[in-house]
Amino acid sequence: MGGSKSKMVIMFVMLLIIFKSGWSEGCLDHERFALLRLKHLFDDTGSYPYDWVDGEGAIDCCQWERVECSNTTGRVIALDLFEMYSGEYSWYLNASLFTPFQQLESLDLTDNKIAGCVENEEFDSLRDLEELDIGANKIDKFVVSKGTTNTTKNVNFYKLTGFFAIWFIIL
C-alpha cells in the first residue's frame, strides 16, 4: 500500500516538473509595456500591429504578431519590426527602448527610415543579442561595440541608402 502511494506522489511531482519546465504563462508585464511603447513610436496612429493592445484578453504578448518568446522563460527573444515605421521622415532610434528585453536574441529593424541611433551603447546591454538587422534604412553611420557582455554575431547592413560609413568596432 505504501509503495503505491509513493509512486503516485513521484508521478505527480514528475508531471509538475514536466509542465513547468516546458511552459510559460506569458510575457512579463514590463516587456509587454515596452512593446506597447515601441508600437506607438513606430506607428503614431497606434493601429498596427493590430494585436498589440493593452487590456482584457491581450495580456500575453508572446502570442502577438512579430513577437517571439522563450517557451520556458516567457521572455521576448525575437522582435520583427520590419517595415513598421509609418512616419514620413527619417528619425533617430533610441536604443534604450530595447533594454527591457534582456533575453532578446534577434532584432529586425529593416526598412524603417532610421537615420541613426541615440544611446547606441544601449545595444551592449542586450547580452543575448545574436542578430541585428538594420538594412534598408537611412543610416549614415552605425557603431556596434562588442565587449565581453555582448556576443552579437550577425549585423546585417544590406541596402543602406546614401553615402554611408559603417563602423564595426570590436573592443
Read off the pLDDT of residues 45-94 as tens digits, 9 standing for 90 and up: 766 788 888 776 667 899 999 999 999 899 999 999 999 998 899 999 99
Tell me the pLDDT tens digit for each residue of 89-115.
999 999 899 999 999 999 999 999 999
Instruction: Report pLDDT for 167.
Output: 39
Of 133 and 27, more confident? 133
Give Cα separations from 68 to 45, 75, 162 (angstroms).
Answer: 24, 9, 32
- Identify the domain containing residue 119 by its residue range: 2-170
pLDDT for the residue 66: 96
Cis ω before 49 (30° cut-off from 0):
yes
Looking up cell 517571439 gives 68
Give the CATH number of the domain where residue 64 resides.
Answer: 3.80.10.10
Instruction: Give the span between the Cα atoms of 170 and 161, in whole angstroms.
Output: 24
Q: How many domains does the chain have?
A: 1
